[in-house]
Each structure stands twice: as structure tokens, then as C-alpha cells.
Homo-oligomer: A and B are copies of this chain.
Amino acid sequence: MPTSTWTRLSPARRERVLVAAMDEFGTHGYSTGSLNVIAREAGVAKGSLFQYFEGKLDLFAYVAEQTSLRVHAAMRPWLDGYDGSTEFSRHLAGALEAWLDYFASHPLERGVTAATNMELDPAVRNAVRVPVQDIYLAGLRPLAERAVETGDLREDADVDALLSLLLVLLPHLALAVHTPGLEGPVRLVGEHPEVRRANIARLLGPLLADFVPKGP
């Protein structure tokens, strides 16, 4: 958690620090990311960083949290718009589409998301997972629960299992698109909207297979 000093800072200064940290962590990851570089790039003394955050890990966790908040905000229309009039899987595909669009136009957020998901150190993963996961869960759980009510998902569907599955696999899917050598075959980026939608549906289908009602 940031210190109280951080919350009292001018928004401009906060944004400078945040952007510098997103850039550094997003391109080099947590362990290789350097506070010296962040301070220099933000035009701020290194000591100041420690007046804003308890330490490197605290800063990284904050960056990850803010990033997931931004991503979540960008997808809010899709999350809120689920009223049962469209099928659940179709709606989820729309959300994934919005996600891809967001990453395509927001490289900083994409980098941080990648760094978060690629992190090996369990201690770091855990420090970051709680805030980030809570944000995504808060957004997705209502959707899944409503889908159970409307019958788009099986009555006895294990919602927790579904959510954790989506939480771990979807980011990789959304990020894989930007992995050299993979952009082509997956065809989720730069395609005609209808083609892309079809491809998303094809990848999403089997993930949901266990949770939708059986039979035709």
C-alpha cells in the first residue's frame, strides 16, 4: 500500500511516477526492473520513491493493481452490460475482444500485465495476485452468477473453478497475440471483426464446455 504522502501528492507527480514504473516493470519485469531507472525517468529522487512506497515490492504491487484497475475500467461496459439478453459465451467473447483492443492501444498496460503473469518468484506472485485477482473476480463473478441464473451455465456449475480458469488462461491468450511467431496463426489481432470474433469463439468454447448445460 502506498503511504499517506503518496495520496497527498499532486496528480501530475503521481502520474509521472506511475508511468515510469509501468514502463520499467513492464519491459524488464519485477526483479530486473530498477528503482534507479524509475526515479530518473520520473524526474524524482530515489529517496522520494521510498517516501511514497514501503519498498520495491510495494511499488510493484501498486503498479499491478492500478494497471488491472485501468484494464477493468476499459472493459466495464461489457461487464455491466450483461443482462441475459445475449448468451453468456457470446458476451464473454465480446469482453475478450475489448480486452484485445485495449492491449493493442495501451502497450504500458500490456507490458505490466505480461510482467505480472510471467513472474516466477512465488513471493512476488502472491504479493501481486491478491489485489489484481480481486479486481478481476469482482468484475467477472457477477457475470458468471447471472449466467447460472439465466441457464446459460449449468445450474451446478462450479463458478469458482470457472473463474480461476478464466483468470489464468485468458491473460495468456490475450498476451500470446503479441508474441513473435504467434500473431499469425491465432489471428486475434488486425483481423476483420467477424473473423476475429469467430476465432475467439473457437478458443473460448472448449474452456466453457464443462460449465454449459449438456445436450443440444
Contacts of A162 in B (CB 8 A): 185
Q: Is A32 an interface residue (CB 8 A)?
A: yes
Complex Cα spacing A61 to B122, Å: 23
Q: Is the CB of A28 within 8 A of B120?
A: yes
Q: Is the CB of A120 within 8 A of B118?
A: yes
Q: How many monomers of this protein are in the complex?
A: 2
Chain A contacts with B in 111-131, Cβ cutoff 8 A:
114-115, 118-121
Stretch at the interface among A4-12, A39-47, A164-172: A164-172
Residue from the list B119, B181, B203 in contact with A168, Cβ < 8 A: B181
Q: At the interface, yes or no: A142 with Cβ under 8 Å from chain B?
A: no
Residues of A whose CB lies within 8 Å of any CB of B are 27-29, 31-32, 114-115, 118-121, 158, 161-162, 164-165, 167-169, 172, 176, 179, 181-182, 184-186, 202-203, 205-206, 209-210
A168 near B176: Cβ-Cβ < 8 Å: yes
Q: Which of B121, B158, B184 contacts A32 (CB 8 A)?
A: B121
B118 pairs with A118, CB closer than 8 A:
yes
- Known pairs A29-B31, A202-B209, A206-B203; A179 contacts B168 (CB<8 A): yes
A33–chain B nearest beta-carbon distance, Å: 10
Q: Are B182 and A29 in contact (CB under 8 A)?
A: no
User: Given that A31-B29, A120-B118 are known contacts, is A185 also in contact with B206, CB under 8 Å in the complex?
Assistant: no
- Asked if A176 contacts B169 (CB within 8 A), the reply is yes
Tell me the smallest distance from the CB of A58 to a CB of chain B, in Å.
Answer: 19
- The residue on B at minimum CB distance from A29 is B120
Chain B contacts for A29, CB-based, 8 A: 31, 120-121
